Chains A and B, each alone.
Chain A
């Protein structure tokens, strides 16, 4: 008799129960650890996602997005991987002309598409990825390139990441009488990931982006922003695995500031619980607080825009105001056999000026909510 047992994932780590202790004990023996540096993917994956996003403000049909995306990841010759995705979405609804007012003026229906392609080469101690990204809608096109490298120490406990990217946007601004404007953004990112223990990983990423060009929103009332913006982001993450529960918590903090004067803090906590039968349940909570741009102008009278000289740097875009926001989310995923994963995710976002925790938020902005529903399916094959 001769059976061929088909196992693709030939050396999967144990996922639950008593065995964890044995694996952890074995990991404590020096000099026999499996290579954990980034490995080229062994299997190809095709995924499809559908996203339904809806802004909500009482009395108005605000912006909604319906997006469909297909992505592919293909290993090539063991040391290479090619990834790509194509997204097609429809944006429709109204957005405020100033503050949270006068939405009819900003009503749109717009189709967009986005594409990206990446090529990765995996080495014994690291990887190098080159990426290309492209998106287009009727009045906005964007194209960018990126290069990212990772390098792990001999012990694989520390991984360093560095990346550069450049993005070139072209904006059709006939809405405000001109013809075409552009914006160029160059970014630099460095990061370090450190394994602290078999169940703890921390990561720090720092990035800076320098943008030059047209930052104004031509669909807003008297929106006139500086022609240069520098953005700095620091992000700290800590993932902890609870062996007894077979669950993982992911805690992150993100600090953002830019030369417009916007300062933002974000804390995100999600907990991934493995359940019997291939199910995974992930609740999530995110807290966000933003301090407004230096040139953001509060409404003096509710429902009436401020009339300042057009040439003055100013904005009444509520996205640049001072506010606090929460996101509550729940994701349910199911592994079906070795090849399929299906997931569904719901998030509810709510933003209020008076939720700004360190003082008063911007005045005269109505509360704002958004719902986010996403469905995904992915198929892996050899």
Chain B
């Protein structure tokens, strides 16, 4: 068994796949399959691609037109619905429109009136669904899978490799990792968790043999204004960024589970830790002062 590694860009970030395979030919074929699966999911579900089904749903918002969706899309919407209910509305795939008010490049605080206008269009429970169709009731509403699309792609890519008999390796999409299994010698992969305040430094190394590790943090996109940090994790109720945690990492059997727990814990602010503990999730949380909480 040799270790093969590929790097590629997709879903707005740098990604890698590690795979133990008997030879170059097997590894190349498998890695290509996994990368293609990630690209397929990006094409289908990205709101940045005009031809994606998500873009068509958003474009039809308020028109009354039902947009047909396939079985995969249905299960993802069901999952989004479960996350919304389980988080008392905090996890909401209609909240992505807040990015219209938050421009992290220009480092400018939005007007409250602008946020209020956008908040009126947020509300997953108002989205109308039929068996195999969906429509957004108001013009200006949008859905997007930014909340767990990357994790879903990591799970799919890893599962494809597992189904083809590969047992050792992992899929890392922008820091969200789904392991196929441990390293070939049985030892776990040591996954570094970035120090949220010192780019390039690790704050912890977490051994992962199987399952997934996902991190949500305030350091990926943010700006500082009058000494206060404004990050890209936005509370769909207020439109303002959360500030209690600088990073939340969660271990779970699947990346979609790890990622959504990490995001919900970020959104729950000081209650996030109790949420993770009550759920029995293995976690590593770093608060805004740098204090570490883990189990």
Contacts and interface: CB of A to CB of B under 8 A. Distances in A.
B171 to A, nearest CB: 11
Nearest to B184: A78
Given A2-B204, A2-B205, A7-B251, A78 B186 contact: yes
Interface stretch (A32-40, A83-91, A346-354): A32-40
B279 A29 contact: no
A4 interface: yes
Interface stretch (B61-69, B120-128, B161-169): B161-169
Give the size category of B's interface with A: 35 or more
Interface in A13-34: 13-26, 28-34
Contacts of A34: 210-211, 253-254
B247 to A, nearest CB: 13
B278 A12 contact: no
A23 B179 CA distance: 17
A77 B256 CA distance: 30
B281 A10 contact: no
B79 interface: yes
Interface stretch (B80-88, B105-113, B224-232): B80-88
A311 interface: no
Interface stretch (B50-58, B95-103, B130-138, B151-159): B151-159
Contacts of B212: 11
B156 to A, nearest CB: 6
B139 interface: no
A11 B254 CA distance: 9
Interface SS of B by simple majority: mixed
Contact of B82 (A5, A11, A25, A31): A25
Q: Which of A7, A13, A42, A154 counts the most B-chain CB atoms under 10 A from its CB? A: A7
Contacts of A4: 204-205
Given A11-B209, A32-B155, A19 B76 contact: no
Interface string B181-211: 0100110100000010000011111111111
B294 A5 contact: yes
B204 A32 contact: no
Contacts of A12: 251, 280, 282
Nearest to B37: A31
Contacts of B282: 7, 9-12
A28 B279 contact: no
B292 A3 contact: yes
Q: Which of B155, B167, B254, B255 counts the most A-chain CB atoms under 10 A from its CB? A: B254
B279 to A, nearest CB: 3
B206 A14 contact: no
B114 interface: no
A3 B290 CA distance: 13
Contacts of A9: 282
A18 B86 contact: yes
Contacts of A33: 159, 254
Contacts of A6: 207
B208 A11 contact: yes
Contact of A2 (B165, B203, B251): B203
A89 B281 CA distance: 42
Contacts of A18: 86, 275, 278-279
Given A14-B279, A26-B257, A3 B204 contact: yes
Given A26-B257, A29-B75, A154-B163, A10 B207 contact: yes
Contact of A124 (B83, B167, B278): B167
Contacts of A25: 78-79, 82-83, 86
Given A10-B209, A13-B252, A29-B256, 4 more contacts: A5-B204, A15-B280, A21-B85, A22-B257
16 contacts: A2-B201, A2-B203, A5-B294, A7-B251, A11-B209, A13-B280, A14-B252, A14-B280, A16-B280, A22-B82, A22-B261, A25-B86, A32-B152, A32-B254, A34-B254, A42-B209
Interface of B: 71-72, 75-76, 78-79, 82-83, 85-86, 152, 155-156, 159, 162-163, 165, 167, 179, 182, 185-186, 188, 195, 201-212, 251-257, 260-261, 275-276, 278-282, 284, 292, 294
Interface of A: 1-26, 28-35, 42, 75, 77-78, 124, 154
